[in-house]
Structure 1
Amino acid sequence: MKKIFLAILCVIFLVGCGKEDETAKAPAKIEGYKTGEEIKLASVFGKELTLLRTEGGFVIKGDESKVIMFDIFGTFCPPCQKEAPELMDFQLKNDKDFIIIALTHFENVTNQHVIENFAQKYNAYYFISNNTPVNDKLSAQILEDIKYPHLESVPIKMVLKNGIYQPLTDIASGKFGVHYYLGGIHLDKLTQDFERIKNVN
């Protein structure tokens, strides 16, 4: 019964769980963050960090040189669940230079639900924000920043260095030059892109 409900939820929200409608448009414009504005985030595990809005992107206040990967995801989403252990492994191997900031999206659940039904179950102990209003605005801003032209779907990831969105390798086509990973991550592509991004000034 729970699986049927989740499938219906994906259809209702047109999330697609990793698939996209090529004809759909990006979310409506929002009143965006202003340069210099601070966005405080708390993880479901109690850690906190502050994002600082740059001219068209974000950095972590006090750790501006760290590469950020925003992961807009849903705890209900099979590709999100499948990739979580690999993302955790990648985070651990690159902890000095890299941080995953995961934003729950298309759901309204408790932190305990995220911990028990996603983090513990799929070994996802990276930074997970579960604040619906903050996550929704931040997700909309990120997609607006990269001029994402399609309907929102999860999982989708963007990578920033020094407040600048980095070009990435498209998961579907394997071509380089998009500003997002859509669908379940391919660790080889992420590793290759990250090595290149680390060497960008």
Structure 2
Amino acid sequence: MQFKHMAFFAIIPLLVFVACDSKNSTEEKIKYPKISLTTVRGVNLEIITSENTLAFSNYQNKALLINFFATWCPPCRAEFPHLNKLREKYKNDFEIINILVSDKKSNEDMLAFMNEFNIQYPTTNGVSNELFAQHLGGIKTIPTMYLLKKDGSIMEKYKGMVPEEMLESDIQRAIK
């Protein structure tokens, strides 16, 4: 009987040690996906993600405005002229990337839409757009924009229409 008690008390610390081992094989490591988006003009945009950064391989050392939009969205349409001006003004240090969500359009329809609104910056279309939106926690409001600094860190998240002056002030800080 005494042997059983000794064996029981010897096994308890061993079980606690094994259960608390940080190298437990069931522990999952956080994995950040590499995402590939395709523009309506057929250019691939590779995005390497981490906890709080989005590194676009095509746009290193540029501040980026990631604009989640839909063609049917009146506020999205109203912002395009302002976004076009800001892109032109800061073109050496800044780029805008449109990500079409909640809208199924062919690339041909999207090119016509881009021509109608004089959109010269990259616009992506396809299933990967929704996956990218999910990676960022989902897009519940359209438009939603993310402003990234030159190092890829997320500086601001905007939901809904953003005053042009506020956006320009933030862009100036992002490109520094």
Deviation at 1:41, TM superposition (A): 2.1
Cα deviation per residue 1:23-51 (whole Å; 9 max; x = unaligned)? Answer: xxxxxxxxxx934x432222112333221
5+ residue gaps, structure 1 = 1-32, 145-150, 167-178
Percent of paired sites with the same residue: 25
Q: Looking at both structures, which has the greater relative contact order when contacts are Cα pairs under 8 Å and sequence separation is at least 6?
A: 1
- Could you tell me how far 1:62 is from its partner in structure 2? 5.4
Runs of 4+ aligned structure 1 residues displaced above 4 Å come to none
Q: Which residue is 1:134 aligned to?
A: 128
Structure showing greater radius of gyration is: 2
Aligned mate of 2:98, from 98, 102, 108: 102
1:84 deviates by: 0.9
Residue 56 of structure 1 pairs with residue 45 of structure 2 = no
Aligned to 2:140: 152
Question: What are structure 2's unaligned runs of at least 5 residues?
Answer: 1-29
SS where residue 136 of structure 2 aligns?
Answer: helix
Determine whether 1:163 maps to 2:144: no
Structure 2 SS opposite 1:51: strand
Q: Is the 8 A contact 1:73 1:105 kept in 2?
A: yes
1:84 partner SS: helix
Q: Which has the higher helix share?
A: 2
Letter in 2 for 1:165: I
Aligned-partner Cα distance in 1 for 2:157–2:109: 27
Q: CA deviation at 1:76?
A: 0.8
Corresponding position of 1:182: 159
TM-score (norm 1): 0.66
Q: Alpha-carbon deviation of 1:99?
A: 1.4
**Alpha-carbon spacing, 1:47–1:196, altered in 2? closer, same or farther (3 Å):** same
- Seen in structure 2, the aligned counterparts of structure 1 residues 159 and 106 have a Cα distance that, compared at 3 Å, is same
- The answer to whether residue 115 in structure 2 is matched with residue 120 in structure 1 is yes
Correspondent of 1:76 among 67, 72, 79: 72
Q: Distance in 1 between matches of 2:83 and 2:58?
A: 24
Name 1:18's counterpart in structure 2.
none
Structure-2 separation of matches of 1:62 and 1:159: 16
- The whole-number CA distance in structure 2 between the counterparts of 1:34 and 1:159 is 23
Q: TM-score, normalised by structure 2?
A: 0.74
